[in-house]
Amino acid sequence: MPSDEWLDGAQYKRNLSKRRILGLAILQKVVIFGTGVFAEVAHFYLTHDSDYKVVAFTVDRKFIKRKHFLDLPLVPFESVQKTYPPGKFKMFVAVGYKNLNKTRAAKYAEAKSKGYSLITYISSRCVHWGDTKIGDNCFIFENQTIQPFVKIGNDVVIWSGNHIGHHSTIGDHCFISSHVVISGNTKIGSYCFLGVNATLRDGISIAEKCIIGAGALIMRDTKKGTVYIGKAGELYSNDSSKF
């Protein structure tokens, strides 16, 4: 990870475009695993807001229906190291939360066993203090507030606009969607999924493999493998023409 990723977002972006204009940016070449929505989004963010250059996509051979994706070569994962050797190319596994993140975790492990370094992207518009301990194959979108002393494991996706309170820990292979409030000192076990607008009170532990549904308010520790939901909006007696 380039050390200047820890600059504040705007400064990082200015430095990046200056280096690109001057031809000084050393763009590291990356192959993305996946051809789904997340892969398309990851390609966009890496192209517009990073020192990485996406050069190809890869998926399992049985899923290859064409030779290109987003105008870049699409090659079988089984033999990707022949065309894009791990010594020269890095990889990012862009798979969503399907199967409670286990599909992404499996491909993450396979990519590592093939010898690839897995990149971590942090948006230049993410607010953090530069001391966040963060693993590989993470993708951190814009408008986060990541407070000091936060630790984020490997293969964690943090979609846009979350609050991650001080001293919180997020385990490996988690997916945090958007506008989630993780209060300070919270521990999130591995393979968890947190839906939009979920709220976790401070100091609790979310056990591994939990699903916290959209809008749920969690006030106590959870048990491994459980699902929590909040209360859905109710239909009001008057229709909108009355207002």
Ligand X SMILES: CC(C)(COP(=O)(O)OP(=O)(O)OC[C@H]1O[C@@H](n2cnc3c(N)ncnc32)[C@H](O)[C@@H]1OP(=O)(O)O)[C@@H](O)C(=O)NCCC(=O)NCCS
Would you tell me which residues interact with ligand X (CB under 6 A)? 159, 177, 195-196, 211, 213-216, 227, 229-232
Residue 166 in contact with residue 185, Cβ under 8 Å? yes
| Ordered DSSP codes for 180-227 | -EE-TT-EE-TT-EE-TT-EE-TT-EEPTT-EE-TT-EE-S---TT-E
* Strand, helix or coil for residue 100: helix
* Strand, helix or coil for residue 6: helix
Residue 111 in contact with residue 96, Cβ under 8 Å? no
Query: 148: how many CB neighbours lie within 10 A of its CB?
Result: 13
| Ordered DSSP codes for 214-242 | TT-EE-S---TT-EE--------SS-GGG
Strands 72-76 and 211-212: unpaired
